[in-house]
Each structure stands twice: as C-alpha cells, then as structure tokens.
Amino acid sequence: MALDALFLSHLVSELQETLQDAKIDKVQQPERDELVLQLRSARGNFSLLLSANGNPRLHLTERKLENPAQPPMFCMLLRKRIQGGIIRSVTQPGLERAVDIGIEVRDELGELTRCTLTLELIGRCTNLILRDGDNRIVDCLRRVDLSQSGRGVLPGLFYQLPPAQDKRDPRTIRRAELYELLAAGGDLPCDRYLLDTFFGLSPLLAREITARATGNCATRLDELTDTLRERVAAETVDVIAMLGKPYLYRKDGMPKEFSFLPLTQYNGMYEEEQCTSFSALLDAFYGERSAKERIDRKSATLRKTVETAVSRIRRKLVLQEKELAAAEDRERYRHE
C-alpha cells in the first residue's frame, strides 16, 4: 500500500505529539536517499527515519543503520544548519503527501532562526528539502530545474508545493452532496470514481469504502440502489473523519498491507495485527520487507552460482560420457 495522505495525517498527528521540543543531536545519512535524525527529549531518545527512496516515508525506527565513512554533502549541510536545533512542529500542509518539520536553531551569530525540513512523498518526485525562514530553498536531496518539471526545486528559489490536483478535498464534502455526485457519476467502478473525484485517497482505501458500503469492492455506480448510494456517501464521510488506529496485515507471516482502519475487503485472507503506534507499524512493515528483499537478493546470487556450477558439471558429464562411449572397444583394438 502507498502511504496516502489520509494515513499520513494520522502519522503526523502522532509524530507532532511525540517529537515536539525534541533536540536534534545527530544527523546521519546511511543511504543516498535516507536520512536519520537522532533526537533527545523529555519523552526519551528517538531515531526519526526520513526516506526518499522507492518506498518514501517517515517514522520513528528501532533499526540500527550503518553510516558511510564519508558523509554525503547534503548530510554535511544539514549537520551545519539543523544539528542542535529544536523541533517545534511536525505538520502536513493541507492534505498533501508532504510533511514539514519546523526547527528552531541558532545561527553562526547565535541568533534564533527558524527553518523547515520538508519531505515530499510523491512517487518519482520524492524529495527532502531544507528551506530557511524566508521560505527559500537552502538545498535539497534532488535538484530539479524547470526543464525537468513545471516547478523548480533549486537552492535560492522560493519553495512551492507541487501543483494541486484537479480534485476535491474529501474533508469538505457532505453526505447529501456526495449522494448527488454518485447518482450522476455514470457507470464507473465506485472505487475508481472516488479516486478520480477526491485527492488524498489510495486505491486500497477507495476499495475499502466501497466494500464496507456495498459488500463488494468491485461495485459500479450504475449498480447502486438509493440505499447503497446513501451507504457509500455515509461511509466515505465517516472514514475521512474517523480517528485512525495502526493495523498491519500479514500473509504467511509476511507483511502485505497496512491501514489506519480495519480492512474488510480481504475477507479474512490476511492476519490482522494492531500495532502500538503508526511508527511501529511502518518500522515493522518496511523493516521486515527490506530484510526479506536482502535475503532474496543474496539467495538469488547464491542460486545463480549453484545453477552455473551445475550447468558446467552437466556439460562436462556429457563430454565424458561421449569419451566413454568412444572407448568401449578399447580392449579389442589394443589386442588387434
């Protein structure tokens, strides 16, 4: 599952409560596109992982990640700019897939200044951006000029959020209005209509709303009765407004999905596990999957080595069998 904007809103609320007024003791960059902030506060010590790789996310982590002997340039910049600073806020701008970490730090002259470390979780455009109190970009993990995108992400430019989607904010919709929209929606699958109409939803969440309301996640709009249409409208509004809890879903012991609400669409195919926090959920989900991927890569290399050795031995065996067949009459030829 992608870490959609609604799931992110629950995670951000949790991090804001946990990390407010925490001091940034260390800044580490164990991978090219991963950052770890070592934090200390009255609530305890924490490691905050910010990942801009193929699985963009942020969460507290219990994993110990090794650091390169020579820190990358972006890491060195962050150490200079934010190390020793205090986290004053963790917020989500609107319902965007982005998180702003507001930091208060003293500059080289000892004056208190504010800066923001922003993680944008937008697929291939995922980025980590440091901006100053005037909203200018100090630097970023991935520099993007205007020729690559309609929005430049370069040092010195004023920061702008990614272009808004031509969709509605689901938090502002009312049941009666959504009922009318569904009635005029044509013959699209219900989950596809919700995805096309509202931003902040993932395919998983749109399917879940449909499954809860109609009993089938593949229901189409033209199959909705008045009662079912009312249920879809009510379920959508309720899911958007609900107070989420962290749920992890496994199959054969391996993590498969996660959500901020119990999933009904799988009909008991997956094992449900409620985690202690959203950070613990993401740490388990991605940590276990990463461990399995590393094992799969190593086993694939080992398997390839064994297959190559077996193939070589088989070729030798064929040649030796030919030599043996050619030498079957060696005793008769020797006596003649």
pLDDT per residue as tens digits for the range 301-327: 677 778 777 888 888 888 887 777 777
Query: What is the spatial distance between Cα 260 and Cα 245, in angstroms, rounded to a whole number?
Result: 5
Q: What separation in angstroms does the CA of 7 have from each of 56, 210, 258?
A: 13, 18, 9
**Which H or E run includes 194?**
helix 190-197
Task: Specify the higher pLDDT residue, 60 or 146.
Answer: 60
Q: pLDDT class for 197, splitting at 50, 70, 90?
A: very high
Across 130-134, average pLDDT: 95
Residue ranges of E strands in 5-111: 23-31, 34-41, 44-51, 57-60, 86-91, 98-106
Task: Specify the higher pLDDT residue, 295 or 289.
Answer: 289
- DSSP-based three-state secondary structure for 41: strand
Instruction: Locate 163 and state its tokens.
Output: 């272009």
Taking phi over 0 as left and psi of -120 to 50 as alpha, with beta for the rest, 257 belongs to: beta
Question: Do residues 14 and 279 touch, judged by C-beta distance below 8 A?
Answer: yes
CB-neighbour burial class of residue 107 (10 A; exposed 0-12, middle 13-18, buried 19+): exposed
Task: Specify the higher pLDDT residue, 95 or 289.
Answer: 95
236, HSE (Cβ side, Cα atoms, 13 Å): 33
pLDDT recorded at residue 112: 93
Query: What is the spatial distance between Cα 60 and Cα 107, in angstroms, rounded to a whole number?
Result: 27
Q: What separation in angstroms does the CA of 226 have from each of 39, 112, 183, 230, 292?
A: 53, 59, 9, 6, 47
Amino acid identity at 31: E
Q: pLDDT class for 67, splitting at 50, 70, 90?
A: confident
Task: Quickly list DSSP for 130-180.
Answer: EE-TTSBEEEESS-B-TTTSSS-B-TTSBP-PPPPPSSB-GGG--HHHHHH
Per-residue pLDDT at 82 exceeds 80: yes
